[in-house]
């Protein structure tokens, strides 16, 4: 799936990933390929992304909004 991360503090990140894991206001969530459409809040913590080469990348965040789009795309707007 295609991940787009937008932030006012840093340049945007665009990357193909296999999964993404993060904390929400109701618990921890993992998004995999072809997840159903979703909009949720991301709370303070780490966002962990797994790419096609099984490399894990972690981004620390103070929170934000995550959107899963029907075309297998994930958009994140970070605080």
Quote the pLDDT of residue 73. 97
Q: What does the domain layout of the chain look like in residue ranges?
A: 2-78
| Structure confidence by residue, pLDDT tens digits, 32-62 | 999 999 999 999 999 999 998 999 999 999 9
Task: Tell if the pTM clears 0.85, that is, is over it.
Answer: yes
Give the Cα separation of 35 and 5 in Å (integer).
17
pLDDT at 10 exceeding the cut of 90: no
DSSP 10-38: S--EEEE-SEEEEEETTEEEEEETTPPPE
In degrees rounded to 5, what are phi and psi of residue 10? -135, 160
Per CATH, the number for 2-78 is 2.60.15.10
């Amino acid at each position: 799936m295609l991940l787009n991360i937008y932030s006012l503090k840093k340049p945007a990140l665009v990357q193909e990933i296999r999964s993404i894991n993060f904390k929400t206001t109701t618990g921890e969530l993992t998004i995999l390929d072809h997840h159903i459409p979703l909009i949720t809040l991301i709370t303070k913590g780490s966002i962990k992304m797994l790419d096609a080469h099984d490399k894990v990348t972690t981004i620390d965040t103070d929170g934000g909004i995550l959107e899963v789009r029907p075309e297998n795309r994930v958009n994140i707007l970070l605080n």
